[in-house]
Amino acid sequence: MTTTKRLMDSLNTLPLSNSPELAAALAEANEPTLLAAYVHLSHDTDLLERFAPHIKPAFSGLPTVIPGELTKELRGKMHHLLTTGEGLHKDMPADDLIQQIMSVTVGEKVEDEFVDLVFDQCGFRPWIDRSRIEGRVQPPADFKVLVIGAGLTGMEAAMKLREAGYDHVVIEKNPEVGGTWWENRYPGVGVDTPSHFYSFSWEIWPDWSTYHPSGSDMLRYMLEVADKYNLREKMRFNTTVETLVYDEKAGTWTVTVRNQDGSTEDIVANAVINGHGPVNRFRWPDIPGLQDFKGPVVHTAAWPKDLDVSGKRVAVIGTGASSAQLVGAIAPQVADMKVYQRTKHWVIHNREVADDVTDGMKWALVNIPTFLEWFRFRVYWNAADGLFENVLRDPAYAGNDLAVSASNEAIRQFALSHIQAKFAGRPDLIEKLTPDFPIFSKRIILDNGWLDALLNDNVHLETNGVARILPNGVEGKNGDFYECDIIVCATGFEVARMIGNLTIKGIGGRDLGEEWGEEDPRSYMGMVMPGYPNLFWTVGPNSAPNHAAGQNLISECQVNWIIEALDRVIEAGAKSFEVKQETFDAWNRKVEERMPQMIWSHPKANSYYNNSKGRVFLSWPWRLVDFYVETRKPEEGSYTLHS
């Protein structure tokens, strides 16, 4: 059942019975979302206008305080509508009313440019269903698309390729769908993106356990989606893609895969979509003696199922997001733990990160029509483009060299106050943990027990670095030795080497690995490169939404654009699609010209968004809505169709 059908079916369940579950749901439901759902169902603009003065923008610093009598009236009216059906409008409100609901319930004007994105991403009016387009030229039965990876993007591609009528096969190296959420199973693993946005727009899930999903919840969602839509029927598991070679005469790719038994096989495909993602190949630290340690040496991204840290002495190398999640989770179990900090990170306190979604809220998400869709809208607005001003330099800002705008400084002060309050009696930890670079210039950490763990007597933070690993422990650069039983490397991924372990040969034997090198990938819109017809990347260079949540939206947008490109090939009776060199060059110049305006180019910024020369190769330097608009279809004149 797609989101739109679910919404239609939910309207047909009304009226609801006057049950204790409904009463609990109305009592526990998020009030602005309940207002949005009520006005959507009733078209009651009077109540909307009366709420408007009380709802403030999430990052304004002004509290949203709704008078009790107004909340009581809203709940009463919604209860009456849901249990009697009186005043219900089953038709979709006019666009201007939808936009008014958006603006009032987030406390600020939602401009026209966002409306199409919200309609699509919240399931009110999906952008396109190619199976329903009259007169669309159907792909030939022998036109085959090969997708690499069955993670979030690969599953999106499988769903939309099937909908568009393309024969396809998904090659996945793991035994199941899920990608990074199949692989990453360390204690405490979770997602930065709020739960109710980090999902497919065509399958918005109401069953999250917490407001920021654990890794297990994320995997459960993806497994359920694969089951529900029978996505595995076109997937081959335990199979690894190794080589792609383009045949100019045939306009096809020969893809060599390695099967589980070690044998290799060539698959000929008309097009290839690479969805293996940049956080799929983990990185070991370059520390002398690492292989000499006598106990377990593990990476967070390859956590052994049978590893028991209870009562053990554990050394953790790294203090990024994975380390923070892990340390917070295992601190109560270990006998002793030393955490080796390589770089500092800003930490944001979000009280919702570990909050359970109450039973009443879950009931509302499942049973109150439009409530789930409107809650997704609020999460998108407050966790995505609403944060963009934090990463855009304000030329007029002259506050200090640790921020790029007044709003960015306000967020920095918010994070700083959290650190100072948490370690009020530990100035040593404040000094060790306070970064000297702008917040949002590198990935932030959501505090879910990380700072509390550092206050435990059995957890020690070391900032002097690691000199070498000995058979029985870790020697710091200050000469201190820490004897331990287990070493955990929370040292990230080979993000800059976006080609991974693939060998890709394009027109005239061009080698994409040589062109990109170890850390300098370039593309057009994170998707295509001249010289490699019908080869489509996803989550590629300069397409990551590093200002906020939204990788799921980026993936959907890229798959949409890719299928539009393939449709151009089919409509023209051509063999392949290739972006023009001048288009590629112009777009990369545009990105380079934009980057000095972004926080990631700040002199003190240094993260995996940048390569060793400082070039920001990963980040998309505009808003999510801009990416959405740019990926509705390939721009005419920007590509060549080869016959």
CA–centroid distance for 81 within its chain:
36
Q: Which of 172-186, 340-354, 585-599 is the least confident region?
A: 340-354
Other Cβ atoms closer than 10 A to 223:
16
When pLDDT is cut at 50, 70 and 90, the band that residue 354 belongs to is low
| Averaged pLDDT score across all residues of the chain | 95
pLDDT at 503 over 60: yes
pLDDT at 345 over 80: yes
Nearest-CA neighbor of 584 among 518, 527, 624?
527
Residue-wise pLDDT tens digits, 48-81 = 999 999 999 987 778 899 999 999 999 999 999 9
When pLDDT is cut at 50, 70 and 90, the band that residue 549 belongs to is confident
- Overall size of the chain counted in residues: 643
What's residue 163's pLDDT?
96
Residue-wise pLDDT tens digits, 580-591 = 999 999 999 999
When pLDDT is cut at 50, 70 and 90, the band that residue 9 belongs to is confident
* 340 vs 326: CA distance, rounded Å: 13
Please give the biggest Cα pair distance in the chain: 76
- 141-281+495-642 is classed CATH 3.40.50.720: no
What's residue 238's pLDDT?
98
User: What average pLDDT score do residues 605-633 get?
Assistant: 96
Other Cβ atoms closer than 10 A to 563:
25
The residue ranges of every structural domain in the chain are 3-128+357-386, 141-281+495-642, 290-346+395-489
Distances (CA, A) of 32 to 76, 113, 379, 601: 15, 22, 12, 37
Structure pTM?
0.96
CA dihedral sign, ordered 258, 259, 263, 266? negative
pLDDT at 540 over 70: yes
CB-CB contact of 631 with 425 (8 Å)? no
**One-letter amino acid identity for 368?**
I
What's residue 353's pLDDT?
60
Residue-wise pLDDT tens digits, 136-158 = 999 999 999 999 999 999 999 99
What's residue 38's pLDDT?
98
User: What average pLDDT score do residues 426-447 get?
Assistant: 95
CB-CB contact of 266 with 242 (8 Å)? no
CA–centroid distance for 512 within its chain:
26
Let me know if 62 is exposed, middle or buried by CB neighbors in 10 A (0-12, 13-18, 19+): exposed
pLDDT at 3 over 70: no
CA dihedral sign, ordered 199, 200, 201, 205? negative
pLDDT at 469 over 70: yes
The partner residues of 445 in beta bridges, in order of sequence, read: 347
Residue-wise pLDDT tens digits, 80-124 = 999 999 999 999 999 999 999 999 999 999 999 999 999 999 989
- 290-346+395-489 is classed CATH 3.50.50.60: yes
Radius of gyration of the chain (CA): 26
When pLDDT is cut at 50, 70 and 90, the band that residue 385 belongs to is confident
When pLDDT is cut at 50, 70 and 90, the band that residue 1 belongs to is very low
* 540 vs 620: CA distance, rounded Å: 10
What's residue 7's pLDDT?
75
Three-class secondary structure of residue 317 per DSSP: strand
